[in-house]
Structure 1
Amino acid sequence: MTHEHDPSDARDGAPVLPHDDFRCGTVALAGRPNVGKSTLLNALIGFRLSIVSPRPQTTRHRILGINTTEAGQILYVDTPGLHRGAKRAMNRSLNRAARSAISDVDVAVQVIEAGRWTDEDEAVYAALGEQDTPRLLAINKVDLSKDKGALLPFVAKLAETHAFDEIHYVSALKEKGLAELEKAILARLPVQPPIYGEDEVTDRSERFLAAEMVREQLMLRLDQELPYATTVEIEQFSDRPDGVAEIHAVIWVERDGQKAIVIGQGGAQLKAIGSAARRHMERLFERKVFLKLWVKVREGWVDDESMLKKFGYTD
């Protein structure tokens, strides 16, 4: 997908011409759920690509975000959070997708939450250790740490027991520490020409991104576990002669009671979900959008491998 960037973006100036030291490669952003990988991806590419919510496991797919500068082209891969207790087929699919995404990259960046190192963080570290690639540690959410000094012994202990090439303090939300992290990544990428055009921001289609925009609203607006029982399928995506993108999407749930909640009293919830998703699509796609939503029930889809494949949950 290509996109017109803000005029202040360096990518919108003179064409980026590869030079003798131009670097290009893939970088995995890996971590347990809810450490801020998607927010970090969006901040690093300067574009709101990956959907974000406060809930763990918001990211269900491998998302490629492309950042091209005069120095090089970094292909960031946002991965689903690696997690334990993957009892359902969906959770196992997310773990497979995460492991697949980190298996063939030039640099791995493990993202953790400032001051916290859990068993799941340790599992991510072990998974990254299976690959012979440089490993950087990005300690995210440092803006939330009231006592910055308390981080020093935490980091010192981590550095003693874990082999990271470099450790970086960042705030994805406040966009702090990102230039230093990017510089460290670029230094470890191979010298080679760019793979994508300088105006491309992802390899994902508008159809895929439209489904993600709807799912983001489900994650933000529905209570408790209900968002995890939902997925979105785009049945139609076409550009009308008047320049409007017409999109028909189905929200799948597991039970009739869930369908009623998604629709809401008098259809109010579904209307709110659709309106918010449409506004995000119009900004992303840079044209008017006509969005039609339906809610359908498919019992047990979260545990049905064939349905997961149908909905795009593959490695």
Structure 2
Amino acid sequence: MTSTDFDNRKCAFVAVIGAPNAGKSTFVNHMVGAKVSIVTHKVQTTRTSIRGVALSGKAQLIFVDTPGIFKPRRRLDEAMVSAAWEGADDVDFRLLLVDARAYDAVLRNAEPSRADVKAAEDTDLIIENLKQGNQKVILVLNKIDLLPAENLLPLVQHFSDTGLFEETFMISAEKARGTDAVMTFLTENAPQGVWLYPEDQLSDISDRLMAAEITREKLFLRMHQELPYSLTVETESWTRTKKKELRIEQVIYVERDGQKALVLGQGGKSIKYIGQTAREEMETLFGEKVHLFLFVKVRENWTDSKARLHEMGLTLTT
């Protein structure tokens, strides 16, 4: 690469914010071209801000995947919402990702579900907070594949009337529709600057933390409605066997004995399945043989512990 090429490099931080389950992690993973954030159908899956790095021409775009923003009820919720707003500070672009299908159902009063109403309320709360700043925001209407085309224009007009957004994009992150236009806009408008990450680095998340996130994802997917969000996964040991194969030991922390029984399942069936699916994905991700050992422990009221939340990269202001 010539010196001129280095002089023409661009670098931008792109914060992706939105209500829970708007599709932020799916969007970031697609833009980066690799899985850097776990994805489940459960709301509030993402708990801390994660940076995914994408290269587009001479631009390095650092996407900040943030936790969903909503009205908190627990201390864990407060810490997650705080992390989301912190992730949106001092960035070059703020993207508000909106679940278009859910908001449209509420806007037209088309028998919206309870989850739709909550998503719309959370989005309105975010918009009101964003209006307090002086930075324009980019609106990204996601999940448009789930809407009739004639519903889109009134939806766009509704958000345009807020006066907050400088650009609007309509996409389906899951179907990779409309995302190229977002990437082109960010690339063309990114400021000049040196790249902050090596060309081959896709995320700022460590392998140890990514391994814990993978297991947490499999827990959420397996347990469905039975398991509350009061669980976390920690990678406690990362060693090599005599054959130089990767050996990972993780602890799944829950708050009550009853939750521990749910995670284990009858005859250990659930924990066995979770371990198998997590190990298989880790082997694909790390490109080597993985020996995964899972343990379940009770840690009462960990969601209210400042120290425990700090270990997860979360902070409480009170």
- One fold, TM greater than 0.5? yes
Q: Which residue of 1 aligns with 2:137?
A: 135
**Contact 2:12–2:91 (8 Å) recurs in 1:** yes
2: distance between equivalents of 1:105 and 1:70?
A: 20
Identify which of 7, 10, 18 aligns with 1:31: 18
1: distance between equivalents of 2:68 and 2:42?
A: 11
Shift of 1:35: 0.6
Residues 242-262 of structure 1 deviation map (CA, whole Å, 9 limit, x = unaligned) = 342111000000111110110
Identical amino acids, percent of aligned pairs: 38
2: distance between equivalents of 1:139 and 1:50?
A: 20
Q: Which residue of 2 aligns with 1:6?
A: none
The residue correspondences of 1:55-94 to structure 2 (distance < 5 A) are 55-84=42-71, 86-94=72-80
Identify which of 85, 90, 103 aligns with 1:104: 90
Residues 131-187 of structure 1 deviation map (CA, whole Å, 9 limit, x = unaligned) = 444411110001111x11111112112212232111001111011111100111223
The residue correspondences of 1:260-299 to structure 2 (distance < 5 A) are 260-299=261-300
2: distance between equivalents of 1:225 and 1:130?
A: 39
Are residue 250 (structure 1) and residue 251 (structure 2) matched? Answer: yes
Shift of 1:87: 2.0
Bigger shift: residues 151-160 or 291-300: 151-160
1: distance between equivalents of 2:56 and 2:162?
A: 35
Q: CA RMSD in A?
A: 2.0
2: distance between equivalents of 1:138 and 1:225?
A: 33
The residue correspondences of 1:48-59 to structure 2 (distance < 5 A) are 48-59=35-46
Structure 2 gap segments, 5+ residues each: 104-119
Q: Which amino acid is 1:163 matched to?
A: L
Residues 66-102 of structure 1 deviation map (CA, whole Å, 9 limit, x = unaligned) = 0013231000000000001x12111011011001100
**Contact 1:99–1:127 (8 Å) recurs in 2:** no
2: distance between equivalents of 1:198 and 1:247?
A: 28
**Contact 2:57–2:187 (8 Å) recurs in 1:** no
The residue correspondences of 1:1-40 to structure 2 (distance < 5 A) are 18-40=5-27
Q: Which residue of 1 aligns with 2:180?
A: 179
- Cα gap change, 1:16 to 1:168, in 2 (>3 Å): farther
Q: Which amino acid is 2:22 matched to?
A: V
Taking structure 1 as the reference length, the TM-score comes to 0.90
Report the 3-state secondary structure (helix = DSSP H, G, I; strand = E; otherwise coil) of the residue aligned with 2:200.
coil
Size of the alignment, in residue pairs?
300
Structure 1 gap segments, 5+ residues each: 1-13
Q: Which residue of 2 aligns with 1:196?
A: 197
**Contact 1:41–1:65 (8 Å) recurs in 2:** yes
**Contact 2:231–2:253 (8 Å) recurs in 1:** yes
Shift of 1:222: 0.9
Q: Which residue of 2 aligns with 1:121?
A: 123
Shift of 1:116: 4.1
Report the 3-state secondary structure (helix = DSSP H, G, I; strand = E; otherwise coil) of the residue aligned with 1:161.
coil
